[in-house]
Chains A and B, each alone.
Chain A
Amino acid sequence: MNWIGLYYLSRREVMRFLTTINQMLLPPIISAGLYLLIFHFVIGERMMQGVPYIEFLLPGLIMMTVISAAFSNSSGSLFFSKWLKHFEYYLSLPFSYLELTLAYVIGAIGRGVVTGLGITIVALLFVHTGIHNVFVLLLYFLLSCVVFGSLGIIAALWASDWEGLGIFTTFIISPLTMLGGVFYSIETLPPVFQMVTLFNPIFYFVDGFRYGMLGVHDHSLLFGFGVCFVFALLSFFLAMLLMKKGWKVRC
């Protein structure tokens, strides 16, 4: 294992978003802050699952932003490298496919951490909240970064242009996130839509993370953890396998 090489590659991934704060970090934090501000005034003191709505919303918003940050970090970085032929340089270095995949996922986790912390700090202006179970909170945070960081790698390998990369975000990630219980408890939905939501994997990430923060949840935690864990394993190994095969890169 090239540990030092992995450290430098991961550092490069983290540095990439830290040097472009205006483009990569501030926009999601500002958006989340605006959501909180608007819902704080519009919904007011309304309760959901036994907690004030604004408190209920916060973990969903954090998870939504972390998912989006993790996905766009790995997909954007890898696709940009591919586009500039810089990725060929990486392929010529003494890295195994595990190390290459890990570096992109570590970058995704890093951006998830910074974005998530940023939103939390902004949220503390509007919401008084605590942490119900820090272990569960961190576990779901990590699982979501691994899953969406890995999916970002797959999307970047697949896409042959920027438009192709946008398809993933616009048609898959965003709708699934919006309909994954970020803004509401699925108990408020008609039974058919409740059933449909259970097929949306993002729902389980939001539900588990919300439990870690507030102690409330919509669905079986054990089942939800199983779904998230299996997704994390599958997405990471699929990303590594495609990296090894040089899918659409090494022709």
Chain B
Amino acid sequence: MDALVISNLRKEYGKQEAVKGISFSIPQGGFFGFLGPNGAGKTTTIKCIMGLLKFEGSIAVMGHDVVKEHTAVSRLIGFSSQEFDFDLFLSVEQTISYAAGFYGMKGKEVKKRTEELLQQFSLTEHRKKSIRALSGGMKRRLIIARGLVHRPKMLILDEPTAGVDVQLRRDLWEQLSALNKAGTTIILTTHYIEEAERLCDTIGIINKGKIIALDSKEKIMENLGSQTLHITTKEPVARGTLPDADCLVLYEGTKLTIKGKGIKKKAKGILSSLESKGIEVVEVDAKEESLESIFLRIVGEQQ
């Protein structure tokens, strides 16, 4: 059973259609990067999953309908929202212990889980502080800790590293990777494409309310990204030596630059072709287009 199945999700704000009939699913244990420019429909989609908005279509979490089985779904999902939606009447410690209580944990269990999370997110020394006294980074750690209080099977993080420093971002990456390895399905929206490239196994790109790319990270990089092969030969190579269908070949004496989609797959054939023509290859260097570059290009093409 998939962790999340979204079927033909549509959401309108007045006359404006924010999400235009998207469908996708995420397997259990997956790490899904949900990317898109501002206003693309990421947060709207996530709010629909959380049951915070009315929508058309259907969303199921581990087989439970998010509208009809709201309480069952909310026990399966942990959520860290983009905006800090804390209860300002509670301290750091109370924010976690009350959250544990909301999920039905009892006295000792609440205490134990609160201690665990305070320690895990380096908040122990700030436990008595009011939320107002926390820095942005501490608030971010606290909101993620709160989302994990009931050990959810699926964790949804809406821009979890927005406004946090590099060290904290790296710490969070390690914690998220560990959670995912332990079996938690993670859905992550982020503006840091490098973050998605590093953490996620599946990428979905949404723009203007439509999914414009959805596949495993490797396939997106391979199918949508271009690769460049730099070959250095012993002797200069004459123009037209290589058949250049679907790719761009630049001949600069002993340097050959081949650029296009799926070049990595064709590399073996290209090298054999050069060898068969008696051309000795001295050095080969392959470069892949980054996910960020692919993202900017395909989103830019739609603008």
Given contacts A92-B79, A96-B71, A250-B53, contact A4 B88 (CB under 8 A): no
The minimal Cβ–Cβ distance linking B268 to chain A, given in whole angstroms, is: 51
* Alpha-carbon separation in the docked complex, A219 to B74 (Å): 49
Query: Which residues of the partner chain B approach A5 to less than 8 Å between Cβ atoms?
Result: 101-104
The reply to whether the CB of A122 lies closer than 8 angstroms to some CB of chain B is no
* Alpha-carbon separation in the docked complex, A12 to B271 (Å): 70
Given contacts A12-B90, A93-B74, A94-B75, contact A88 B102 (CB under 8 A): no
Given contacts A12-B90, A94-B71, A94-B75, contact A4 B104 (CB under 8 A): yes
B74 near A84: Cβ-Cβ < 8 Å: no
Contact of B85 among A9, A86, A96 (CB under 8 A): A86
B52 near A86: Cβ-Cβ < 8 Å: no
Chief secondary structure at chain A's binding surface: helix
Given contacts A4-B105, A94-B103, contact A246 B89 (CB under 8 A): no
Q: Mark A87-116, 1 if CB is under 8 A from B, else 0.
A: 011011111100000000000000000000
The reply to whether the CB of A2 lies closer than 8 angstroms to some CB of chain B is yes
* Alpha-carbon separation in the docked complex, A86 to B83 (Å): 10
Q: Mark A175-198, 1 if CB is under 8 A from B, else 0.
A: 000000000000000000000000
A94 near B104: Cβ-Cβ < 8 Å: yes
Residues 1-31 (chain A) with a chain B CB within 8 angstroms: 2-5, 7-9, 11-12, 15-16, 19
Most buried by A among B53, B74, B75, B104: B104
Contact of B102 among A81, A84, A94, A250 (CB under 8 A): A94
Q: Count the A residues whose beta carbon is within 8 Å of the partner chain — how many?
A: 27
Most buried by B among A7, A11, A12, A16: A12
Q: Mark B63-94, 1 if CB is under 8 A from A, else 0.
A: 00000001110110101010101111110000
The reply to whether the CB of A222 lies closer than 8 angstroms to some CB of chain B is no
The reply to whether the CB of A85 lies closer than 8 angstroms to some CB of chain B is yes
The reply to whether the CB of B198 lies closer than 8 angstroms to some CB of chain A is no
The reply to whether the CB of A251 lies closer than 8 angstroms to some CB of chain B is yes
The minimal Cβ–Cβ distance linking A209 to chain B, given in whole angstroms, is: 31
Residues 23-82 (chain A) with a chain B CB within 8 angstroms: 81
* Alpha-carbon separation in the docked complex, A57 to B85 (Å): 44
Given contacts A4-B101, A91-B51, A251-B13, contact A15 B85 (CB under 8 A): no
The reply to whether the CB of B129 lies closer than 8 angstroms to some CB of chain A is no
Query: Which residues of the partner chain A approach B81 to less than 8 Å between Cβ atoms?
Result: 85, 88-89
B52 near A92: Cβ-Cβ < 8 Å: yes
The reply to whether the CB of B200 lies closer than 8 angstroms to some CB of chain A is no
Closest residue on chain B to residue A5 by CB atoms:
B102
The reply to whether the CB of B50 lies closer than 8 angstroms to some CB of chain A is yes
A4 near B85: Cβ-Cβ < 8 Å: no
Query: Which residues of the partner chain B approach A16 to less than 8 Å between Cβ atoms?
Result: 89
The minimal Cβ–Cβ distance linking A3 to chain B, given in whole angstroms, is: 8
The minimal Cβ–Cβ distance linking B75 to chain A, given in whole angstroms, is: 5
B54 near A85: Cβ-Cβ < 8 Å: no
A86 near B86: Cβ-Cβ < 8 Å: yes
The reply to whether the CB of B173 lies closer than 8 angstroms to some CB of chain A is no
The minimal Cβ–Cβ distance linking A152 to chain B, given in whole angstroms, is: 17
The reply to whether the CB of B106 lies closer than 8 angstroms to some CB of chain A is yes
The reply to whether the CB of B98 lies closer than 8 angstroms to some CB of chain A is yes
A250 near B54: Cβ-Cβ < 8 Å: yes
A91 near B89: Cβ-Cβ < 8 Å: no
Residues 136-195 (chain A) with a chain B CB within 8 angstroms: none
Given contacts A5-B101, A5-B102, contact A95 B86 (CB under 8 A): no
B101 near A8: Cβ-Cβ < 8 Å: yes
B88 near A92: Cβ-Cβ < 8 Å: no
Query: Which residues of the partner chain B approach A15 to less than 8 Å between Cβ atoms?
Result: 89
B102 near A91: Cβ-Cβ < 8 Å: no
* Alpha-carbon separation in the docked complex, A169 to B25 (Å): 48
Query: Which residues of the partner chain A approach B53 to less than 8 Å between Cβ atoms?
Result: 250-251
The minimal Cβ–Cβ distance linking B142 to chain A, given in whole angstroms, is: 12
* Alpha-carbon separation in the docked complex, A212 to B300 (Å): 74
Most buried by A among B86, B88, B89: B89
Closest residue on chain A to residue B89 by CB atoms:
A16
Query: Which residues of the partner chain B approach A86 to less than 8 Å between Cβ atoms?
Result: 85-88
* Alpha-carbon separation in the docked complex, A9 to B53 (Å): 22
Closest residue on chain A to residue B13 by CB atoms:
A251
B106 near A95: Cβ-Cβ < 8 Å: no
A84 near B88: Cβ-Cβ < 8 Å: yes
Closest 5 CB pairs of A and B: A8-B101, A85-B85, A94-B71, A94-B74, A4-B104
A residues sitting closer than 8 Å to B (CB atoms) are 2-5, 7-9, 11-12, 15-16, 19, 81, 84-86, 88-89, 91-96, 246, 250-251
Known: A88-B81, A92-B52. 15 other contacts (CB 8 A): A2-B71, A2-B102, A4-B101, A11-B101, A84-B88, A85-B85, A88-B52, A89-B85, A91-B50, A91-B52, A92-B50, A94-B75, A94-B102, A95-B102, A251-B54
